[in-house]
Amino acid sequence: MFKQRKHRTFNYQPRFSKENQDASNLDTDKNTKDFISKWRESKGNRPKARGVMPIKTLILVLVLLLICMYLLEKKYM
């Protein structure tokens, strides 16, 4: 009598299925190893950039300077 509707079918594959992971892991492992090795090579070639003085020394000099300024101010005022 009435025309029956058919169920819809989709060609859906889950994003994180076992089949997809096995195929993609091979490509991903290769790409990450290449990336890591290239990053280490570029990192190793550059010399480390060092500041003129370490931060601890700068803080110590600053504290000594402030103490000297305080003592000189008290002495001459």
Q: Considering only 20-24, 57-61, 69-73, which range has the smallest mean pLDDT?
A: 20-24
Residue 24 has pLDDT above 60, yes or no: no
Q: What is the pLDDT of residue 60?
A: 96
Between the CA of residue 72 and those of 28, 36, 60, 63, what are the distances in Å? 66, 57, 18, 14
Contacts of 14 (CB under 8 A, 6+ apart): 20
Asked whether residue 74 carries a pLDDT value surpassing 70, the answer given is: yes
Higher pLDDT, 35 or 72: 72
Average pLDDT over residues 38-59: 76
Reading the block at residue 19, the tokens are 């089949």
For the chain, domain boundaries: 53-77
Tell me the whole-structure pTM to 2 decimals. Answer: 0.36
